[in-house]
Amino acid sequence: MIIVSKCPCRISLIGGSSDLDWFVNKKGRGFSIGFAVSSYSRVIIGFRGGNNSRGLLNYSSREEYLSIDSISHPIIRKCLQKFDFREPIELASFGESMLGGGLASSSSFVVALIKSLTKLKNEELSNEEIAKLACSIEFDESNGATGRQDQYLCALGGVNFLSFKKNGIVKIKNYPIVSEAICKYCEEIYLINTSISRSAQEQLTLIKNDPDSYFCIEKILDIAEGFIDEVKDIKDVNSIIKKLEIAIRKSWEIKKNMKGVLNSKLKDIQTLLIEKDFDIIKILGAGGGGYFLAKYKGKNIEKITKELTIKNIYIKKIPIDLNGCQSWEI
């Protein structure tokens, strides 16, 4: 039996960083809004046949192993230990997004891996349960520097509103008209790959250790909570979009002053994009590299796309994934 899983990456719109455990444990709560995007991590997995006594793992490296405790890749090792896979397996993983780019490709991979393992074990876990398990595995590996929005946004698909409480509690809220407004808003948004990768864990640790970060994130949380309180009863999609844009820009003005978020290379790219008629909305993830979100105000996106590609800056639209993590047998 061979199992294939695919899991979307995610985009966080507002409230990002208020999901970080160290912040939630101090503040008592967090809240973020984001959605799954049609850029995927894929995992193919099956038991090794014949007389093979070694498992085989193909990710960014190739690794053979005799026991799961000897596996070098920490996430794969922990997942196989969690499900007690003593029989050797063969695994291959593929990702469409740049690692360290702020689209939560690492969380997307973990969710896809767990989805494959549960199906191979004939165990039934909901995507919400898989997200919770992925959180615990990534949290242990990062020494508590990560948050909990990425795993849920990737696993669940669509637009989600996530409330965070102490002790790792995550509640999923539902605002259908606001979701509709976000989907419409994203039709005009471009995802801009700067080709600058960074370690998310290092950047998150940098933020965690900066005394000013807590107060910045507190302001970002206030904006996210204020936005949803203001629009949750509004029925007009366009009115919600206008307020959403204001909330995102306010959050970005705060976040870009946090430690390590905007470096000199990113500032140069931002200046170039503005010169090319892009309206910068925000940078994704913890910052330090990765992707910008932007609107294009010019009239020839095809020409600009070609010009920027020469400079290793890549532009694409960002369809929302509505299905979340999926798996099937082949």
Each of the 330 residues of the chain gets a pLDDT tens digit; together they read: 899 999 999 999 999 999 999 999 999 999 999 999 999 999 999 999 777 789 999 999 999 999 999 999 999 999 999 999 989 999 999 999 877 788 999 999 999 999 999 999 999 899 999 999 999 998 876 565 678 999 999 999 999 999 999 999 999 999 999 999 999 999 999 999 999 887 777 778 888 888 898 999 999 999 999 999 999 999 999 999 999 999 999 999 999 888 888 889 999 999 999 999 999 999 998 778 889 999 999 999 999 999 999 999 999 998 999 999 999 999
Burial of 188 (0-12, 13-18, 19+ CB in 10 A): exposed
**Which phi and psi (to 5°) does residue 202 adopt?**
-65, -40
Total residues found in the chain within this entry: 330
Dist CA 112 CA 93 (whole Å): 9
Amino acid at 187: E
What is the structure's pLDDT at 144?
57
In the chain, the N- to C-terminal Cα span, in Å, equals 7
Burial of 230 (0-12, 13-18, 19+ CB in 10 A): middle
Degrees (nearest 5) of the Cα angle 102, 280, 98? Answer: 25
What is the structure's pLDDT at 141?
67
pTM: 0.94
Residues 106, 99: contact at Cβ < 8 Å? yes
* Total domains in the fold of the chain: 1
127: tokens are 């995507």
Domain hosting residue 8, numbered range = 2-329
* CATH code: domain of residue 66: 3.30.230.120
